[in-house]
Amino acid sequence: MSNAKVHISNPKDLRYWLGLNCIPKIGKAVYKSLINRFHSPENVFKASIEELLEVEGLKKESALAVKRFKEWEEIEKEISLIQKHNVSIVTIKDNNFPKNLLTINDPPPYLYVKGNILEQDNLAVAVVGTRTPSHYGITTAERLARELAEAGLTVVSGLARGIDSAAHRGALSGKGRTIAVLGCGIDIIYPQENKKLFGEITENGAVISEYPMGMPPIPQNFPMRNRIISGLSHGVLVVEASLKSGSLITARLALDYGRDVFALPGAITSERSKGTNKLIKDGAKLIECTEDILDELPVQRGVRKENIAENRDLLPEEENILNLLEGSPLLIDTIIQETGLSVSKINAILLDMEIKGFIGQGPGKIFYKKQV
């Protein structure tokens, strides 16, 4: 895909894209229908009232608003801000508009982009979850995102505190690509603590938004933002979410779009896991390791396993435990006895090894080596 800035060199063309998006009661689906019918926003503004009303879903009030639109001075200010902040605009008519996003019924007509959208980003998985995760949630999100990136997938999330940030960090640590979808203008970094992460993502992926420059991160923006996260991805992994979490909206939208939904199980006593556990009860795929996700995606099996194995370094204690499990599965008490490590240390190591996909756990705290 081309990485060139789109339309900035032709403000006249861009002004019509921005202008049409300002017309009252023209939703994303109707905007898409207008472009399909007239091929460009400029042609929409040139069309007669009668021609406009031929488009399904367009009300007469909105058709009249198209013909009466005069807010071009505000549009020019928006274009100046786009240029000032070195932002790209990618429209649904451009070759580098994400192909996955074109398959939903209400894609954004254009995206504000910092960084680059590449062809390989069409193979993407979203990783989302609570803004107030446990240590287990953070470490698991980071490890799974890292391994997905190592397997060649782009990790999509929302740059929010908690699981979203952990997912982006994990993808970057796996030397992979990641896309952050904002619920505010692309010139606003929210939360501010993610300023460094924002910059790293633009260097190794893209930060994108459908909202105009200067749009604050108001609550009603985020459900709309979540549809883009789902739409960009082949599947959505939810890591720790309460029953009222916005991540469940992302998962529901993923189902509406025909995407896979994955969920990490958690303790039944944890409020952070009630949402993910409910997703599993409702049919989401329970995830224990990265392979559980990759099995559902169009990734070459041999290549992806090799990529993950190459990038997962074993600590000395982990290597020792793997050697112990080489012959047969062992009870945790036996592992503690053989290694001489404390119960808390062994529990932490075994959890990390399960997350990495090196070992599995059977009934009665029996651990076995997985074939990677």
Start and end residues for every CATH 3.40.50.450 domain found in the chain:
119-307
Q: For 38-58, how does the pLDDT look when each residue is reduced to its tens digit (9 = 90+)?
A: 999 999 999 999 999 999 999
> What would the two tokens of residue 76 be?
């020019």
Output the average pLDDT for the chain: 90
**Peptide bond connecting 191 to the previous residue in cis, omega within 30 degrees of 0:** yes
Cα(164)–Cα(169) distance, integer angstroms: 9
Sheet with strand 285-286: strands edge to edge: 88-91, 110-115, 205-209, 178-181, 154-157, 124-129, 235-239, 260-263, 285-286
Q: What phi, psi does 265 have (nearest 5°)?
A: -70, 155
As its CATH architecture, domain 119-307 has: 3-Layer(aba) Sandwich (3.40)
Check residue 311 and give its pLDDT.
Answer: 46
Q: Where in the chain is the domain with CATH 1.10.150.20?
A: 11-83
11-83 folds as DNA polymerase; domain 1 (1.10.150)
- Domain 313-369 classified CATH 1.20.140.10? no
- Write out pLDDT tens, residues 185-237: 999 999 999 999 999 999 999 999 999 999 999 999 999 999 999 999 999 99
Residue 93: phi, psi to the nearest 5? -95, -5
Residue intervals of the chain classified under CATH 1.10.10.10 are: 313-369
Average pLDDT over residues 141-169: 96
pLDDT band for 271, please (50, 70, 90 cuts). Answer: very high
SS (H, E, C) the chain: CCCCCCCCCCHHHHHHHHHHCCCCCCCHHHHHHHHHHHCCHHHHHHCCHHHHCCCCCCCHHHHHHHHHCCCHHHHHHHHHHHHHCCCEEEECCCCCCCHHHHCCCCCCCEEEEEECCCHHHHCEEEEEECCCCCHHHHHHHHHHHHHHHHCCCEEEECCCCCHHHHHHHHHHHCCCCEEEECCCCCCCCCCHHHHHHHHHHHHCEEEEECCCCCCCCCCCHHHHHHHHHHHHCCEEEEECCCCCCHHHHHHHHHHHCCCEEEECCCCCCCHHHHHHHHHHHCCCEECCCHHHHHCCCCCCHHHHHHHHHHHCCCCHHHHHHHHHCCCCCEEHHHHHHHHCCCHHHHHHHHHHHHHHCCEEEECCCEEEECCC
Supply the pTM of this predicted model: 0.79
pLDDT at 319 (0 to 100): 86
Q: How far is CA 152 from CA 122, 233, 268, in A?
A: 11, 14, 33
Give the phi and the psi of residue 360 in degrees, each rounded to 5: -125, 165
> Is residue 1's pLDDT more than 50?
no
Nearest of 281, 289, 228, 290 to residue 259 by alpha carbon: 228
pLDDT over 70 (residue 303): no
The pLDDT value recorded for residue 309 is 47
